[in-house]
Structure 1
Amino acid sequence: MITGAELIVGGLTLLAVLVYPLRRWAFMSALAGAVAGILLAMLSLRWPLDRVVSVWGHPVLLNRPLEGLGYTLVVTGAERPVLTMLGLAALAAFAGIRLRSSGRSFVPIGLVILALWAGAVIVHPMMGTLTGLLAASCLSAFIVQAGRTAPTRAAFRQVWWPLAAFMLMLVAGWHVQEMALRPDDATYLRMATWLIGISLLVLLAPVPLHAPFVSLLAEAPPVVGAFLAVGGQVVVLHLIWDVFLQWPWLSEHMAVSRALTATGLITLLWGAMGALSAGRARRLWAYAALHDWGVFLVGFGLGAPLEWRMAAALFVGRALSLFLSAYGFTNLESHGIADDLEAVRGLMRRLPWTVLAILVGGLGLAGFPLTASFGLRWTLIQTLLRTRPVWGLLIVVGQLGVSLGYLRLLQSFWAPLPPSRRLIPRERLSSGLLLIVGVVLSGGLALIPQLLDGVVRMMIEIVVQISRPGM
């Protein structure tokens, strides 16, 4: 009988092997990757967990465990929202190849990374998750570099924090084992708490640990950057829940909410300052995403189920805004245009949908009106103004900083078109349609935020399960 782990992890890995010979045909490999993302999302949403289903004559039981080498891989209801989000991120990333190739190896290596992320989500014990994250970060260096002769700084930086967290958690695991053997010695408890807290903080990468994240979005191929940012952060958030589920005593000895909100406030303000001073459109996007990550950490740190739902909705809006901006920058690169403010002057007249995707995606990260995250961000600010007004005002100040940065970019886009730019070809119909769909979806979520309810309910299912009595 085929287990869920074999179907998901093994199927994605096998598809990566089959796609590798097709890497020269961008459309074929992108289509295979997009179909894999759709199947992963649909399997996570619709496939029955505890019922045997026949696939081409082979029985499949999704929640049957797969054991080996001291690890167990099993799909449960708690992992479904995470796997769904990973599948949708893969679909968005591989669909973006239609605008411009992100490197011949992106689809096969991206599928292997997706398999590692999926395995990291369903593996037990927790060290398997860290191992999967570390392996995925090592592979990500290849698709970040994408065969270019550009500096390798962004590629190698992706390995920093997963490697550091892996080593810290190894030492923390030893202290946890010693706690069981010497329950009267508080030294091991104190050291384990500190080491676990530092390792989780390193994986969340707030300021001042933000350099790999900013480099990823500013220097990697845009769609690759969005894919790695969204997928990696989803797995990290799942790991945090797994840690506190496995070691519930941590919440009694660690000020989790205070740490998340403090680092979140610092991160959102630093991101706003970086966006305000950015001289390139890609760096502006990177710092806007950093600001948005800080806002998410504040919402995530509030702790009550209502705020967790809010944080989950914020993350969905964040993912949409990241990919929409990535599509815009990818189409910009396909026309051979650099991202400095002088190079993009007047492009509103030649590439209107590309410019609109960049602006709407970036302003969505700032929670600007009529973008995907506006209603969610406004709800968070209202909640904070009632309980912690200073925090709410700091978020508003950060939003203004990012918005002013995008106002500078808009001025460059709207400036008179230089004579040398008048021969730039306009957007192709297929590219324009993809950008239009993204812009309309972002605006639709702004006007009808209830569209997110179903997705948010799936993402928050793990919180509900943890909160149930007896869990």
Structure 2
Amino acid sequence: MTFILFGPFMSAVIAALLSRWRRVTAVCGLLAAIILWLLLRAEPAITQDKTLFGAVLVLSPGARALLLFLYAGLALLFGLALLFPQGGKLVPATLAAYGFLALALLARPSLFGAFFLAAGLALLAVAIQDDRAGLVQGGMRYLAMAALALPFLLAAGWLLDTQPPGAAELVGRVALWAGLILLAAFPFHVWATTIIRELSPLVWLLLFGLAQLVVTVFVFGLLPDGVNGEMVRLVEFTAVLTLLVALLLLLTAVTLPRLISGLLLADMAVVALLLVFDPATGGQTAVTVQTARFFSLLVLGIGLLLWSRFGSGALTAAAESGAQPRSQGIARRAPFTTIGLLLGCLSLAGLPLTSGFAGRWQVIQLLLRGEGAILALLLLATMGAGVMALLRALPYWLTPAAESPPQPVEARWLQISWAIGLLLALYLAWQPPTWLAVLNP
């Protein structure tokens, strides 16, 4: 278990020394993630507890299953970084950050877990920046969000550990503020849209697909008794505000980053809404939604990385920045890449026949059983707005550009690869536990 705990940090040091060679760094991260996954898979769930700086580290069955999923996700991410080279700091910063996030899941008491979680989120700001000297908004806003959530996390962890008189309700209030900041981007919706606009899809996968899964589990662990009273109104207000921002982005979307930002904010609002339900039901559904988000962003990220070779991110002719429209007729030049991109967007929106449908449908059912009919309608409206934005873009993507110079088209091997991947994605949408059973034996 020692290497499982400290392996990410040792691997991060090695990757940092090799950061000049970006593909070599990606290989280092890929091997580290695979080795950690294999060692954790062979490690029994209940072992002798370890002590680190006074914190007791407990490998529970739930933490083991989550870490298996995280390391498998990191292996996929580093594999994509090998095919699509990123900055030199992405791999080492990611390994170090997820080392702290793993400690946050294992640490007892909760005060230590809150500190490790904040340290991991702060290190992710380095991965966001990743040698981009001129683009600092995304990294600085994410760091500011982690810094703002830190006192709430530490206070909630201390209260949960010491249990002073009347602490139960106070823990819920403090932990809820931390959860809303970290899970719903509240009140800084702009940081999420900035990251989507400025950074690589692999960073989206890292932050919104994996890191927020850890945050979700940790925040629900700080709310053993759930939320009630005026705290429910606070969660609903935050979710409504986030959904309205998402709806505005979707209704006015003329570029892919704006469309994806709206879909992502709507999904983040869904997770925030689950804080008001019973911790067992809400937590399990939140993990389902977050897992589906990872697969949605994985398909969407691959589609966008390939899409950039064939066209721009424009949804309409008015959004084209250059004299030559690059996205016009892209569906004819790169049909399978376009289908993959559409599938990723529809899955992030929670449409049927996608991996995102199961979690989204569970949330709608929970809302309709209570007094959340208006919230359910607003959620359905954001889903419909996302679909309408894609339908508006389809005619432009299908119409060939007049008198345009020759542009690149999909290779045959890429079409075959996409066909296999899309069939696998549809199968996983029908059988979601299958993939998780492979990762969590």
Cα pair distance change 1:382/1:167, threshold 3 Å: closer
Give, as a single letter, the amino acid of the residue that structure 1 aligns with 2:336: W
Aligned residue for 1:118, secondary structure, equals helix
Aligned residue for 2:304, secondary structure, equals helix
Shift of 1:425: 4.9
CA deviation string 1:165-208 (max 9, x = no partner):
2123445667779973xx4xx6x877665434323322223443
Aligned residue for 2:261? 286
**Identity over aligned pairs, percent:** 26
Aligned residue for 1:158, secondary structure, equals helix
Aligned residue for 1:466? none
Give, as a single letter, the amino acid of the residue that structure 2 aligns with 1:325: L
Shift of 1:260: 4.1
Shift of 1:307: 5.3
Cα pair distance change 1:121/1:432, threshold 3 Å: farther
Aligned residue for 1:340? 314
Pick the aligned partner of 2:239 from 248, 264, 272: 264
Please say if residues 144 and 224 of structure 1, whose CA atoms lie closer than 8 Å, have aligned partners that are also in contact.
Answer: yes
Give, as a single letter, the amino acid of the residue that structure 1 aligns with 2:27: L
Alignment pair present for 1:135 and 2:119: yes
Aligned residue for 2:29? 33
Aligned residue for 1:67, secondary structure, equals strand
What is the count of residue pairs matched by the alignment? 431
List alignment gaps of at least 5 residues for structure 2.
Answer: 321-325
Aligned residue for 1:451, secondary structure, equals helix
2-side partners of 1:97 and 1:43: how far apart?
A: 23
Cα pair distance change 1:390/1:94, threshold 3 Å: same
CA deviation string 1:428-467 (max 9, x = no partner):
83x65664454333222333345367489x69xxxxxxxx
1-side partners of 2:128 and 2:402: how far apart?
A: 32
2-side partners of 1:448 and 1:192: how far apart?
A: 38
Aligned residue for 2:176? 197
2-side partners of 1:354 and 1:29: how far apart?
A: 27
Aligned residue for 1:56? none
2-side partners of 1:122 and 1:447: how far apart?
A: 33
Shift of 1:221: 1.2
Pick the aligned partner of 2:206 from 221, 227, 250: 227
Cα pair distance change 1:370/1:189, threshold 3 Å: closer
Residue correspondence of structure 1 range 47-86 to structure 2 within 5 A: 47-50=43-46, 63-86=47-70
Give, as a single letter, the amino acid of the residue that structure 2 aligns with 1:371: T
Aligned residue for 1:416, secondary structure, equals coil
2-side partners of 1:312 and 1:419: how far apart?
A: 50
Pick the aligned partner of 2:293 from 318, 331, 334: 318
Please say if residues 103 and 146 of structure 1, whose CA atoms lie closer than 8 Å, have aligned partners that are also in contact.
Answer: yes
Shift of 1:286: 1.9
List alignment gaps of at least 5 residues for structure 1.
Answer: 51-62, 460-471
Please say if residues 128 and 199 of structure 2, whose CA atoms lie closer than 8 Å, have aligned partners that are also in contact.
Answer: yes
2-side partners of 1:190 and 1:310: how far apart?
A: 23
CA deviation string 1:313-344 (max 9, x = no partner):
222211100111111122234x2854233342
Shift of 1:102: 1.8
Aligned residue for 1:119? 103
Aligned residue for 1:448? 431
Aligned residue for 1:397? 381
Aligned residue for 1:72, secondary structure, equals strand
1-side partners of 2:159 and 2:277: how far apart?
A: 29
Q: CA RMSD in A?
A: 3.3
Shift of 1:154: 0.7
Please say if residues 265 and 395 of structure 1, whose CA atoms lie closer than 8 Å, have aligned partners that are also in contact.
Answer: no
Please say if residues 345 and 415 of structure 1, whose CA atoms lie closer than 8 Å, have aligned partners that are also in contact.
Answer: yes
Cα pair distance change 1:226/1:448, threshold 3 Å: same
Please say if residues 213 and 229 of structure 1, whose CA atoms lie closer than 8 Å, have aligned partners that are also in contact.
Answer: no
Cα pair distance change 1:425/1:263, threshold 3 Å: same
Give, as a single letter, the amino acid of the residue that structure 2 aligns with 1:277: T
CA deviation string 1:55-93 (max 9, x = no partner):
xxxxxxxx3333233222232223123212311321221
Aligned residue for 1:214? 193
Give, as a single letter, the amino acid of the residue that structure 1 aligns with 2:331: M
Cα pair distance change 1:114/1:104, threshold 3 Å: same
1-side partners of 2:169 and 2:430: how far apart?
A: 48
Q: TM-score, normalised by structure 1?
A: 0.80
Cα pair distance change 1:395/1:21, threshold 3 Å: same
Please say if residues 169 and 195 of structure 1, whose CA atoms lie closer than 8 Å, have aligned partners that are also in contact.
Answer: yes
